[in-house]
Structure 1
């Protein structure tokens, strides 16, 4: 029987309404008859009533129609409600069988089972499994899976799923089968299946207990040479997790498959990670140093999930940061151990400030543990991932290394094989650390970025000094009033005259709205180094002068604090320039000159330190963002830095000109500084700058140098600009990942005609909204180009809104991820703000809008 009911308005799911599942599914057997046009899925579920719960068995479904439903071998009575299959069951345990037919090749949402590049693959997080078969699709239902697949052998010679292989064989009519068994209970979002014509780069890894694990990265055969870096990164990650966390891999095989069409970066499915190909494929000619680093980080991240996400999963989706924040923290520390820890910390904080701080300050602000959602995929955000990682880092700082390791050991032991909560994790920190984190829990429930005001007083005669601190958290949607947070701030004092340490580093736990930290025996005016290492994810405002910041940028012994002082000096100068039309550039020029010639600094750090803050970060410091004024101020400072230090930039450039490709910290640092120097030479207006860039573009033996030169040329007016873009396109037109770089480089150009150029690129024969990477490479990149996107004509807003509406019909998840820049309309002048708001209203009014985009757009209008 069939009784379909439709919900008129999107349903809001609230954390406070959590109820344990009425039925559990200890075992499931899945049988797939695979074909791109018609795949038949048979499921056999062993179900058990959960305690004394009542109510029917509810099996979630999305666009599924039952072909058969049986209970204990007999046809069953059933009904449909909001896409779910409901069955009234009399006893406490039953065997339920269902059968559905799905069409992977028509699945443009890329959730569930879909086709990509001639292969079939799955993506089930967060709620994609319900697009494959009927099941209680929630993370707190943990099940052991047995999966059998049958398919045409010529078309799909490789058949993979979770766990370990247990059998395979031949069938009639050129078909074959394979069976996999995962012995570890897992939620449905971790299910994975891949069928395709793939080749494997194989290796083995011997665990600390002596078990040999077979590793394989599966790609198209032509891409095999580009998988060595990913495979080596996997082995390093496995060894690191054993050494640092004591976590050993638990299956006999570990497979990774790379696909071209993927909504995310990668997915940690148990034993079968599915990756966006951009995070697997690399060689010097097609991947930048940033790509290499990102591949290592993402491979490590997904592997680390085996324990922080798979063996221990999250009870409900409100606990998403339990697995993602913790695992981001783990992959950040892994990456820091592979190269420069200081540069890695700078990169992580830059990402946090570029993505999460604006999120915290906008209409989509939400706590690390949200209270409600309409569409859970909208909460795969920088707040959940990056701010969530900072929370783990703060607890690690408060506990110290030994107690933090003891706390994570306790967590892994106590909750192995369960679906846990953020509270469970914090409780382990308390127990092993012997501390009370009651106030710290506010970080999970309060949205917003805390602001800390710091000032130093000094009594020269008495030798007394005091660091005065005040904190506050601004209002966010639904949370107008905030309690003081627990802020772990590392601080140190230097002498303004001597430059020596006058008060050693200490950890200040700021728990009140105001506090005073006293120092004795301070014989000279102190300069405070605050939030060293970015020990807390806060905004710090101080009364330090340009001279003090210049001093710290050259003498602070904490690398991040040194970088931070330089950035603050640059930021203050730019904000003043926007307000007054011109700022004093001399202190910045002197500080950059000193940094360039400091023999104790590595080139990677120098390159990061001398870069100006981005246009958008400057705008974040202003009550009303003025894109044109910020652009002019930043270009003026870049020009003066280029002209005044031209000889220094050329010296740095020439020192690295002969650097041939090698993936090592030193070689990466040399390339990074060379390309930064090239940018400043170009900014100086030097007549040979375009020629210098074009020679680098033509002679480069690696993508980092080639794209660095192309980016310099793409923002200029030289005739070599067009030539370079044409050469790049013709050379890489058959490589989708590199062609994404071609689109992105033009979308980020600072030229006056960038809005028009991007609209033209959206009509290019190689542009398609159907591929998430391509959509992000053009539309996503353009919306991050502050000046171009916010052109006062409103053309950028209209263009992006058009693309979101079109993409929503194909892939709502990717469309929703492109919307947040429009939601910042309150931060801009009335003309721009009204135009952005108008586009949001047009999106909301679009018939048939997905709940993904509706939630983002409607919240942005509130």
Structure 2
């Protein structure tokens, strides 16, 4: 490990800024080999803060040409520069600071600050990218009005955009032009945005609840104009939903979205100028899957909702990141649930939590929703901050109820409009509006790790009572050995032979919220509590964690018969899905133990029959049936095995293949019937009914090809005739993973020939190949690094191919010779200084080295040690490596 370690930043050390910026004036002069940035900052000392004589501004990779204080150019002796900032020894109480700086966006491969995405100038300033543009107080609690002018070549960059409303446009002669923008709403620098390029727009408008007309424009390359309709419809739905559900109206005259090919994130909520990764805004039936349509709708909504939960009210410091992200993820999840199936959406959210966020909580980078410290803030754009943060907000919603939660949100927005605030401010607004004490609940923000609820039930037939004992604990995490009890909403019901039973809880009324007479929410607040139900006329099966009411691991010793009962007749859709998953996991783990012992796996007929019964019931929601019958992935099974002594990659893979095959053969006729009856014979539409039918039909295709090799003909026929990308890509995956080498190569070559001009489709082609199993998989991926379709500078392509291999092809990534680990390490090394954010994110599979049994864990650690020995590690990569290697 290198000696010059970057230092950590701590929440406890937060201090208000000594200086504030009231107005920021920026002038950009864009050229092909450089850009000139002239900045005029109107500053004043922050009253009430201990006076500091010196002004210290952030800056990185900047070439200062001149600097002036109140119009007087400063001499070299009046200021000093370092690698990350600029210091002026003496400044008055109130003053204007002007600077002229040269930057090189064309050489900026980090994709932070101002950079070039092919022919397009664009920005990404969150979290600390603005300091790569000009000298500034680049912290979220410094908010200013912005006036921006942009000058560029008119032929190359006819469109010049920034935040706020357009003020003026002028032709400068000599082939250049200028645009001026003004944003009247004070904002921190991380919300600044600029785009300049040869773009075309799809235009529309939205009439707000108060009758104002808002212009809506989505800017794309001309070839992509036909892929914007869904994003525009999604934007208008989002605007209406936010008015109806939260009473929040848009506040400017125009709202712009721009699609960019090279982008580290999914999208960015810059005030009135949202910059999107092109994969998150462009879609059409021919080039986009059902999942892609849903993703675009959700991300458009997420970024729009930030206008209030993130922009009008922003975070005081980066430790409070979940203040805006967790709240906004909750809002976009509720929006998606309202637009489609609420149960399916809840299942999808729970799946992300269990398969990825729980793993994060159990790993070396585990941190609270509000972290205590960080070295590089970009490493904390995590599932814990976003998804677990959203679940924390959801629990507040559950504990308060919808009406009181809305009052709390209204108070929060009204109280803090135009401010940079904390998670504590959000919780306090909820308390003040509802009268509910959330003191103990605050621990969710401060404690890392996934709580475990261990539940046991006891039925007294004579007394007709049922006692449920709940114990909670949270495992130690780095830096937090001791955990305090949390306030956990545990939604439950009791299932009888004929359906869900009416509930009557003896005493403890303050610890209960009742939605109806078959559903209660228990407020679990102690290390151990017992809840007694009276009037229970039969031995029940507890229906626990209904609706995934809390982000916890649930332990209850269900029999397989009880799981079948929940799976078939509980009235909570999430519990039915969860029971199917628990039953599958039980069967899979049994098969793995049999394989590890050298025996042929035997799959429990109870499970096979329960799945067949589910599949044959055409009255059920096809989307839910597909979710219930989809086996847990090998990565999730490895995470579960890690808690039982260590994951054995090969036996997990073989067990999943055996159960997959057994279910395919057992229910072959039912799979074939489901495949046929779910054919969609109407024009493509990304609506719930069609999406559900395609989901079950394509899952059926997977099982059919496993059942008998002859069914590969169905996949090849679907691939040849598919009228939409969902069906085409599903068939391609089946052929690639289950067909012969000749069939696979023929299909992959045909797909590429058809779609090589569509970048986003080609990325999916790369991802399909990354997951192709069998010998030669790694060599195929290594070869694709040299393919014309791959570019190491493009994060989407790196995620598709490299992360697709490391996360989606576990048997080959974990090769016994360690070649998969070395391959990933080589890519990380190449990206370490080029794009540190992406390099750090690629490290995640290796950080889980402690989860694996045998030689694989030490081999993964060895690769981490090799990377740690590299010179000039970026802070992003250094932080992940150092935490991953701590004993």
TM-score band, normalised by shorter chain: over 0.9
Structure 1 counterpart of 2:860 = 836
Q: Judging changes above 3 Å, is the alpha-carbon distance between structure 1 residues 659 and 469 closer, same or farther for their aligned structure 2 residues?
A: farther
Q: Structure 1 residue 761: deviation in Å? A: 2.0
Structure 2 counterpart of 1:4 = none
Which of residues 500, 510, 513 is equivalent to 2:527?
513
Partner SS for 1:725:
helix
Partner SS for 2:475:
coil
Partner SS for 1:474:
coil
Which of residues 678, 695, 706 is equivalent to 1:683?
706
Which of residues 742, 760, 764 is equivalent to 1:741?
764
Q: Structure 1 residue 301: deviation in Å? A: 0.3
TM-score of the superposed pair, with normalisation by structure 1? 0.98
Which of residues 616, 620, 626 is equivalent to 1:607?
626
Please tell me whether the aligned partners of residues 55 and 91 of structure 2 are also in contact (alpha carbons under 8 angstroms). no
Are residues 1:858 and 2:882 paired?
yes
Which of residues 668, 674, 682 is equivalent to 1:652?
674
Please tell me whether the aligned partners of residues 494 and 502 of structure 1 are also in contact (alpha carbons under 8 angstroms). no
Moved more, 432-441 or 175-184: 432-441
Q: Structure 1 residue 599: deviation in Å? A: 4.3
CA distance in structure 1 between the aligned counterparts of 2:462 and 2:266, rounded to whole angstroms: 59
Structure 1 counterpart of 2:507 = none
Q: Structure 1 residue 733: deviation in Å? A: 1.3
1:718-729 to structure 2, matched below 5 A, reads: 718=740, 719-729=742-752
Please tell me whether the aligned partners of residues 585 and 640 of structure 1 are also in contact (alpha carbons under 8 angstroms). no
Please tell me whether the aligned partners of residues 659 and 670 of structure 1 are also in contact (alpha carbons under 8 angstroms). no
Are residues 1:621 and 2:645 paired?
no
Partner SS for 2:738:
coil
Please tell me whether the aligned partners of residues 829 and 839 of structure 2 are also in contact (alpha carbons under 8 angstroms). yes
CA distance in structure 1 between the aligned counterparts of 2:664 and 2:816, rounded to whole angstroms: 29
CA distance in structure 1 between the aligned counterparts of 2:243 and 2:813, rounded to whole angstroms: 46
CA distance in structure 1 between the aligned counterparts of 2:786 and 2:864, rounded to whole angstroms: 23
Are residues 1:562 and 2:563 paired?
no
Are residues 1:287 and 2:288 paired?
yes
Structure 2 counterpart of 1:664 = 687
Structure 1 counterpart of 2:26 = 30
Structure 2 counterpart of 1:775 = 798
* Residues 488-526 of structure 1: CA deviation (Å, up to 9, x unaligned): 00011112x444424321110111111111011212111
Structure 2 counterpart of 1:577 = 591
Please tell me whether the aligned partners of residues 128 and 189 of structure 1 are also in contact (alpha carbons under 8 angstroms). yes
Are residues 1:587 and 2:606 paired?
yes
CA distance in structure 2 between the aligned counterparts of 1:32 and 1:455, rounded to whole angstroms: 65
* Residues 27-85 of structure 1: CA deviation (Å, up to 9, x unaligned): 01001111131111000000000015223111100111211000011012211134211
CA distance in structure 1 between the aligned counterparts of 2:519 and 2:681, rounded to whole angstroms: 38
* Residues 588-618 of structure 1: CA deviation (Å, up to 9, x unaligned): 2122122223344211111111111111111
Q: Structure 1 residue 753: deviation in Å? A: 3.3
Please tell me whether the aligned partners of residues 36 and 120 of structure 1 are also in contact (alpha carbons under 8 angstroms). no
Q: Structure 1 residue 658: deviation in Å? A: 4.3
Structure 2 counterpart of 1:809 = 833
Structure 1 counterpart of 2:508 = none
* Residues 272-296 of structure 1: CA deviation (Å, up to 9, x unaligned): 0000000111111110000000000
Q: Structure 1 residue 586: deviation in Å? A: 1.3
Please tell me whether the aligned partners of residues 574 and 583 of structure 1 are also in contact (alpha carbons under 8 angstroms). no
Structure 2 counterpart of 1:751 = 774
Q: Structure 1 residue 857: deviation in Å? A: 1.1
CA distance in structure 2 between the aligned counterparts of 1:784 and 1:270, rounded to whole angstroms: 34
CA distance in structure 1 between the aligned counterparts of 2:335 and 2:8, rounded to whole angstroms: 38
Please tell me whether the aligned partners of residues 62 and 84 of structure 1 are also in contact (alpha carbons under 8 angstroms). yes
* Residues 714-752 of structure 1: CA deviation (Å, up to 9, x unaligned): 112423211111101111112111111011111123334
Please tell me whether the aligned partners of residues 117 and 259 of structure 1 are also in contact (alpha carbons under 8 angstroms). no
Q: After TM superposition, what 4+ stretches of structure 1 lie above 4 angstroms from structure 2?
A: none
Please tell me whether the aligned partners of residues 36 and 115 of structure 1 are also in contact (alpha carbons under 8 angstroms). no
Q: Structure 1 residue 484: deviation in Å? A: 1.3
Please tell me whether the aligned partners of residues 431 and 438 of structure 2 are also in contact (alpha carbons under 8 angstroms). yes
Structure 1 counterpart of 2:59 = 61
CA distance in structure 2 between the aligned counterparts of 1:170 and 1:265, rounded to whole angstroms: 34
CA distance in structure 2 between the aligned counterparts of 1:231 and 1:403, rounded to whole angstroms: 32
CA distance in structure 2 between the aligned counterparts of 1:36 and 1:676, rounded to whole angstroms: 50
Partner SS for 2:36:
strand
Moved more, 842-851 or 248-257: 842-851
CA distance in structure 2 between the aligned counterparts of 1:751 and 1:247, rounded to whole angstroms: 53
Please tell me whether the aligned partners of residues 680 and 690 of structure 2 are also in contact (alpha carbons under 8 angstroms). no
1:332-351 to structure 2, matched below 5 A, reads: 332-351=333-352
Please tell me whether the aligned partners of residues 466 and 517 of structure 1 are also in contact (alpha carbons under 8 angstroms). yes
Structure 2 counterpart of 1:845 = 869
Structure 2 counterpart of 1:136 = 137
Q: Structure 1 residue 817: deviation in Å? A: 0.8
Are residues 1:639 and 2:661 paired?
yes
Structure 1 counterpart of 2:355 = 354
Which ranges in structure 1 are unaligned for 5 or more consecutive residues?
1-6
CA distance in structure 2 between the aligned counterparts of 1:17 and 1:110, rounded to whole angstroms: 29
CA distance in structure 1 between the aligned counterparts of 2:772 and 2:245, rounded to whole angstroms: 42
CA distance in structure 1 between the aligned counterparts of 2:757 and 2:584, rounded to whole angstroms: 42
Structure 2 counterpart of 1:731 = 754
Q: Judging changes above 3 Å, is the alpha-carbon distance between structure 1 residues 756 and 717 closer, same or farther for their aligned structure 2 residues?
A: farther
Q: Structure 1 residue 189: deviation in Å? A: 0.3
Structure 1 counterpart of 2:226 = 225
CA distance in structure 2 between the aligned counterparts of 1:829 and 1:763, rounded to whole angstroms: 34
Partner SS for 1:801:
helix
Q: Structure 1 residue 659: deviation in Å? A: 3.5
* Residues 454-480 of structure 1: CA deviation (Å, up to 9, x unaligned): 121111122111111111101111111
Partner SS for 1:407:
helix
Q: Structure 1 residue 89: deviation in Å? A: 3.2
Structure 2 counterpart of 1:11 = 7
* Residues 316-360 of structure 1: CA deviation (Å, up to 9, x unaligned): 000000000000010111111111111111111111222211000
Aligned residues: 854
Q: Structure 1 residue 763: deviation in Å? A: 2.8
Structure 2 counterpart of 1:598 = 617
* Residues 614-651 of structure 1: CA deviation (Å, up to 9, x unaligned): 11111222121111111111111111111110000000
Q: Structure 1 residue 809: deviation in Å? A: 2.7
CA distance in structure 1 between the aligned counterparts of 2:241 and 2:847, rounded to whole angstroms: 40
Please tell me whether the aligned partners of residues 456 and 526 of structure 1 are also in contact (alpha carbons under 8 angstroms). no
Please tell me whether the aligned partners of residues 491 and 529 of structure 1 are also in contact (alpha carbons under 8 angstroms). yes
1:243-392 to structure 2, matched below 5 A, reads: 243-392=244-393
Q: What CA RMSD, in Å, does the superposition of the two structures yield over aligned residues?
A: 1.2
Moved more, 270-279 or 801-810: 801-810
CA distance in structure 2 between the aligned counterparts of 1:812 and 1:31, rounded to whole angstroms: 29
Please tell me whether the aligned partners of residues 396 and 404 of structure 1 are also in contact (alpha carbons under 8 angstroms). yes
CA distance in structure 2 between the aligned counterparts of 1:647 and 1:38, rounded to whole angstroms: 65
* Residues 393-413 of structure 1: CA deviation (Å, up to 9, x unaligned): 000000000000000000000
Please tell me whether the aligned partners of residues 289 and 668 of structure 1 are also in contact (alpha carbons under 8 angstroms). yes
CA distance in structure 1 between the aligned counterparts of 2:216 and 2:395, rounded to whole angstroms: 34
CA distance in structure 2 between the aligned counterparts of 1:194 and 1:328, rounded to whole angstroms: 26
Are residues 1:41 and 2:64 paired?
no
1:333-482 to structure 2, matched below 5 A, reads: 333-482=334-483
1:496-511 to structure 2, matched below 5 A, reads: 497-503=497-503, 504-511=518-525
CA distance in structure 1 between the aligned counterparts of 2:602 and 2:374, rounded to whole angstroms: 45
Partner SS for 2:839:
helix
Structure 1 counterpart of 2:72 = 74
Q: Structure 1 residue 756: deviation in Å? A: 2.7
